[in-house]
Structure 1
Amino acid sequence: MFMNKVSPDQGGASVGREGYAMASGNTGASVWMKGFLAASLMVLLALLVFNSLLYAGKVHLSLSMPLNAVWRAGVYLLILVNLGVLAWRVYLVLRYRPAPHCADEELVSCTVIIPAYNEGRQVLDTLRSVMASDYPADKLQVICVDDGSKDDTWLWMHRGGEEFGDRVELIRAPRNQGKRHALNHGFLRATGNVIVTIDSDSEIETTTLRSIVSVFCRNPRVGAVAGNVRVLNTRQGIIPKMLDVAFTYSFDFIRASQSTFNTVMCTPGALSAYDAALVMKIRETWLRQTFLGQPANIGEDRAMTNLILKEGRLVHFQSDAVVYTNVPVKYRGLCKMMLRWARSNIRETIALSRFGFTRFRPEPVLGAQVDLSHQWLRLTCNELLKLGLVSSLINWPGATLYGLAVGMLLASIMPAFLHLLRYRSPACLWAFPYTVLMLFGLTWISLYALLTPHKNGWLTRDLAAAPLPAQERLWRDEAA
């Protein structure tokens, strides 16, 4: 399953793909892999020996803390459960294979919907990447929806309309209603058998549409497919570089494992595909979703996935359906994005649990139920451990910091190795600072989300309307 992606430069829009330029036969990449494996094994061996000596009393350091038997047993049990789940996922990933691509005559009609709000120039780059696809033109419908943007997004959409003519349909909402409603405008105009949604801050490869639609052609039981999300703007700072490694773990490991038991829990907003007939069946329920009596304005991707699973259909991941998306470059923006994701995760985990522990489809559901149980374990026990960690840092700083250092090191090795295996790039080393950032800079987010799951703010798209040059204002008036 681990293929080396060599992404060609597609003009000025390809600002963050340097991490994928190493081919599998590159000697430097081979050296990096061997070096990383050797270093990882040496570190693991050293930790094993040191901890054995420490607990045997051969080494004397003030690293012990007076834990009672129940607490200690609970911690060890949690570690064993997580290691067991990790081993299970490794087994599933080794079994994963993407669906083979279909020939032109096998492909069904496809509608691509690009919702946009305050995206500016990027929406044109997104549209161009879609129009450059190798998908048969007579089977492709493209719809762009401006959700009441305050900036010049509509201008750039209009330029795309001029560039591609009647191959693109433009929709302009009179006011901003949120991504869910923007997508709904597209759903109502869609004519394809498969609907593909692509975020307006993202760009796809030429084979992405063929790849993701092929899954439906190969297996009619599939109701949704998750694309493989990579970071577009890796040259814009260290946060995008770190997130790219994190995304590799989230998609090539977590979603690949979930795909093996037919239950990917979330089809990402950056790139997802759906059975159009199924979308129209559940559209009203999805559009009118509420949480604690309020309209749900976030988590539309996860909500759609849950409704599709509830209909008894399969949800897969297609590893070679690649999309590159822009991510925050500053800490504040990163926190907002992750807080939105964390709140959505809480809401939709609750929604999934209403039917996820039943026999909700003819195919086996045990894997989905194990995964759902593990999600609840993380939502509860992990937060309790964080609270205990604060007390431990105050009372036993030496032992706690040692445990954290070992834990961060071990937690970094897996994502780093996965990224190295997938892309043969030294960029895998960003996994280590990312783990530090997660622990000391982002660990508060999930706890805060648990306390505020009812909040609906999108948080990352509310931009002030920027003044336009006179010529651009004139063009906007003419386009309207």
Structure 2
Amino acid sequence: MEKESVLPKNKFSNSSKQLVLLGTFLLLFGALATAYFFFPYFQEMQLEKMNTGFDHILKYVGFTLLAIQISFLIYLFVLYLKYKVVKPVDNESLPTSTIIVPAYNEGELVYKTLISLAESDYPEEKMQLISIDDGSKDDTWNWMLKAKNELGERLAIYQQPKNKGKRHALHRGFKLATGDIFITVDSDSIVEKNTLRNMASPFVGNEKCGAVAGNVRVLNRKKALIPRMLNVSFAFSFEFVRSAQSTLGTVMCTPGALAAYRKEAVLNCLSDWINQTFNGQPSDIGEDRAMTNMILKQGYHVLFQRNAFVFTNIPERYKNLYKMFIRWERSNVRENIAMSKFAFKNFREGAKSGTRILLLNQWVKILCAYPLLLVMLYFIVSSPLLFITSALVSILVLSSVQALFYAKKHDISDSFWAYPYSIFYTFTLFWITPYAIATASKSGWLTRELPQKKMAMALNKN
């Protein structure tokens, strides 16, 4: 499945990996031992707190939320067991497809992306490849020219007069597209040889299929600690969660890294999509979730293809990572509001309860963000030892779900990274959702900007 040739060289030494994992498990099992030895103390503390009405309420609300999440996880598991990937069709049955690659400050990676797409196992006469430079300030255009020189008429490249954002670059691509299926691929992503065929196959003979989400894996997982940790989380998010959502025909978001759309479905909502606003301001983020919503609203199903792999770069530094998460969460807030306007109506034929359950679970996360943050601060102040111990024990238990899933599907040794990532997220990224809710009206991509030094070099060249 995974081609080592496309993966960056390992810049994260074995000794560093072992040290991180050792520290993680010492911390987790230390918390487990603390919970065991201090159990009488914690129990006495809990009994004292139960005398207050506030703590009594907290207990029952906490158990209720836990029961809801466990029930939802079981529900997803049942759906996951029912999931079936759509088998690839032969060349004659494949539809014509337009592959659109928007690029901004991507450098050499856009060249590698375009070459990997051109080398796909897809009939050349049925494939239109378009790439659009969205006003990059680096050498992205030069790498696109290199790809053009090598691929000739197989590739068409365009430049935006200025940076307008990914949504506008995609819009231009959609307008230029001639295929029956539009496939969008991020410019820092490498596809496997059979990915495009697997993405287009679900549309064949299934008129209800309006969009397909690809299976996103981490390209730079060997380069740094953060990508290595997120690799397990990505696998669980796509191969478990989206498989379950696909069984309902309601994948909540077709990822920007790899997504496919029926031409008619896109054209039906293209004007609303490019002119979308939130709180009176043009929307320049969350274009993938917005397109997914608008296609679902038309009554189409959105599916997931587990056998359509794309390897994409993710941030290696904390600052870039939290900016990416803020952008995602702001989009979730906006699009949950948009989805709520049609999901509880008769928006499509057949069962709709599953779609509504998925949306309600999204709302539980958003609505509980501030109360849970306040509760966390309350316990940190009133019972710091109990809070840290219970948090780490919970991480040990819940992360084991992701770790076991990854170990079964992929590699046992990499599965252990589910534990340090959960610790990392719990203690350094807990603020993302509350902050995103408070700043949901703000726009801006936040990432993809050149460092000041590189920016100066690029300006000097020009």
Residue 15 (structure 1) aligns with: 8
* Contact 1:17–1:232 under 8 Å retained in 2: no
1:219 aligned residue: 206
Task: Give the 5 Å matches for 1:265-284.
Answer: 265-284=252-271
1:33-432 counterparts in 2 under 5 A? 62=45, 66-67=49-50, 68=53, 69-432=56-419
Contact 2:220 2:313 in 1 (8 A): yes
Change (3 A) 1:115 1:65: farther
TM-score, normalised relative to structure 2: 0.90
Distance 1:179 1:16, change over 3 A: farther
SS state at 1:176 partner:
coil
Long gaps (5+) in structure 1: 19-38
Deviations 1:316-340 (A, max 9, x none): 0100110000000011110110010
Q: Which amino acid aligns with 1:207?
A: N
CA distance 1:95–1:236, change in 2 (3 Å): same
- Secondary structure of the residue aligned to 1:266 is coil
Equivalent residue letter for 1:316: L
> Aligned letter for 2:154?
R
CA separation in 1, counterparts of 2:430 and 2:47?
A: 24
Match of 1:23 in 2: none
Q: How far apart are the structure 2 equivalents of 1:130 and 1:87?
A: 38
* Counterpart in the other structure of 2:15: none
Amino acid in the other structure paired with 2:96: S
Q: Closer, same or farther in 2 for the Cα pair 1:9/1:385, shift >3 Å? A: closer
Q: CA deviation at 1:65?
A: 6.3
Deviations 1:81-136 (A, max 9, x none): 11000111111111111101101111000000000001011100000110110001
Query: Structure 1 residues 450, 151: closer, same or farther in 2, change over 3 A?
Result: same
User: How far apart, CA to CA, are the structure 2 residues paired with 1:424 and 1:154?
Assistant: 38
Q: Distance in 1 between matches of 2:422 and 2:241?
A: 17
Question: What fraction of aligned residue pairs are identical, expressed as a percent?
Answer: 41
Find the aligned partners of 1:139 and 1:310 in 2 and give their Cα distance.
Answer: 29
| Residues 369 and 434 in structure 2, CA contact (< 8 A), matched pair in contact too | no
Shift of 1:403: 1.5
* CA deviations over 1:254-282 (Å, ceiling 9, x no partner): 11110010100100000000001211121
Give distance in 1, aligned partners of 2:3 and 2:251.
29
For residues 426-448 of structure 1, the C-alpha deviation after alignment (integer angstroms, 9 at most, x for no partner) is: 11111101001111100011111
Is the 8 Å Cα contact of residues 112 and 190 (structure 2) preserved in structure 1?
A: yes
Aligned-residue Cα RMSD (Å) equals 2.4
**2-structure distance, mates of 1:386, 1:166:** 55
Q: CA deviation at 1:383?
A: 3.1
CA distance in 2, matches of 1:469, 1:151: 9
Aligned residues of 1:226 and 1:316 also touching (Cα < 8 A): yes
Amino acid at match of 2:149: E
Per-residue deviation, 1:76: 0.7
The answer to whether the 8 A contact 1:147-1:172 is kept is yes
3-state SS of the aligned residue for 1:104?
Answer: coil
Q: Which residue of 1 aligns with 2:20?
A: none
Tell me: CA distance 1:16–1:347, structure 2 relative to 1, closer, same or farther (3 Å).
Answer: farther
Q: Any unmatched runs of 5+ in structure 2? A: 12-24
- Secondary structure of 2:417's counterpart equals helix
With over 3 angstroms needed to count, the CA separation of the structure-2 counterparts of 1:176 and 1:392, relative to structure 1, is same
Are the aligned partners of 1:264 and 1:315 in contact in 2 as well (CA < 8 Å)? yes
In 2: Cα distance, 1:167 partner to 1:289 partner:
33
Measured after TM superposition, the shift of residue 211 of structure 1 is 0.2
- Measure how far apart 1:50 and its partner are: 5.7
Instruction: Check conservation: 1:62, 1:399, Cα contact below 8 A.
Output: no
Shift of residue 450 of structure 1?
Answer: 0.9
Per the alignment, do residues 59 and 346 of structure 1 end up closer, same or farther by CA in structure 2, a change over 3 Å counting? closer
Q: Could you say what secondary structure the match of 1:467 adopts?
A: helix
Question: Is contact 1:112–1:143 with CA below 8 Å preserved after alignment?
Answer: yes
Relative to the length of structure 1, the TM-score reads 0.87
Shift of 1:393: 1.0
Stretch moving more, 329-338 or 357-366? 357-366
Match of 2:19 in 1: none
